[in-house]
Amino acid sequence: MGSTSLTSTTGAVMNPAITSKEIIDIREANLGFEATVSRKYYDEARVGTTIRWTIITARTASTKSEGNSGNDITYVADTETSVTLTINQHQYAAFELEEFEESLSIIDQQKVYTRRCVYAVNLAIDDTLAALPDDFTQIVGTLAVDLTDDDVRRAVQYLDDAITPGEDRFFAIAPATKNSMLAIDRYASSDFNRGGGANIVKGEFGNIYGLRTWMSTNIEGTNAAGHDNGIYQRDAIALGMRMQPRTRTFDDINNLSTQVAVSAIWGVIETRDDHGVFARGA
């Protein structure tokens, strides 16, 4: 004898769909470039379209011969050059939340989407900086091939040869490069760390060869084509911030909604080419 049972179909109107207050948010990349480049130009970036820095010519000493006749010293007048940063980035992220939808939602949508907009603008800033390492004319390694310890040491020599300050040196790497370097004992084993403990802790290398190494998925490139890692001293790249990410909130009376916009104005430039190395890798 057949039977008829109550199912989720017949009882659909009695089965509510519960939306949790918790959300499954996007994962954010480690946006590390801004903290590792020169960011001391807020005052200069307040007005105008460019910031220009004079490059002082190196001097060499001359030999002074004895005597007064025909041995006068020579005075040198240098014609200096410059490097110019252009404030040419004005980017934003925005949304509009209608009053009726806001009253229905169990989730604080304004808070969630404002946070997403702030991240989007910060990501845009990081993108412009991440595009610079492959412009360095000093190059080590091969794209889509694992970086070697020899490559890293050669890059450090490039910085040393340029009389680059020993402090504030950084190594920006992609996850694929991190993975390949984990196979090198010098980077993974505590035997090579004077301070004790493993060199790689929570995705960061220890201070190997004076480089503070950080990993980000925002390093340009792909696992198939290779990544544009960078080894550089802070003064190799400059970031001119005209306006830090700024959040504006408006009530639109005509549409009974809340409008939120986040925007920033900035420019970037490579200021000292010999202070950076394009470290091509996996």
Residue 201 DSSP symbol: B
Segment 127-150, tens digit of pLDDT: 999 999 999 999 999 999 999 999
Q: How far apart are CA 264 and CA 243, in angstroms?
A: 5
- Residue count of the chain, please give it: 282
Q: Residue 233 forms beta bridges with which residues?
A: 169
User: What 3-state DSSP class applies to 170?
Assistant: strand
Segment 39-57, tens digit of pLDDT: 765 666 678 889 898 989 8
Q: How far apart are CA 82 and CA 90, in angstroms?
A: 24
pLDDT given for residue 185 in this prediction: 77
For residue 118, the surrounding DSSP H or E stretch is helix 109-130
User: Which residues have a Cβ under 8 Å from the Cβ of 18 and sit 6 or more positions away?
Assistant: none
| Amino acid identity at 186 | R
Provide the residue ranges of all domains of the chain, joining segments of one domain with +: 33-46+74-281
Q: Quick one: how far is CA 59 from the chain centroid? A: 35
pLDDT 10s digit of each residue in the chain, 282 long?
Answer: 556 888 788 788 888 888 888 888 888 899 999 999 987 656 666 788 898 989 898 889 999 888 877 788 889 999 999 999 999 999 999 999 999 999 999 999 999 999 999 999 999 999 999 999 999 999 999 999 999 999 999 999 999 999 999 999 999 999 999 999 888 877 776 555 544 444 444 445 557 789 999 999 999 999 999 999 999 999 999 999 999 999 999 999 999 999 999 999 999 999 999 999 999 999
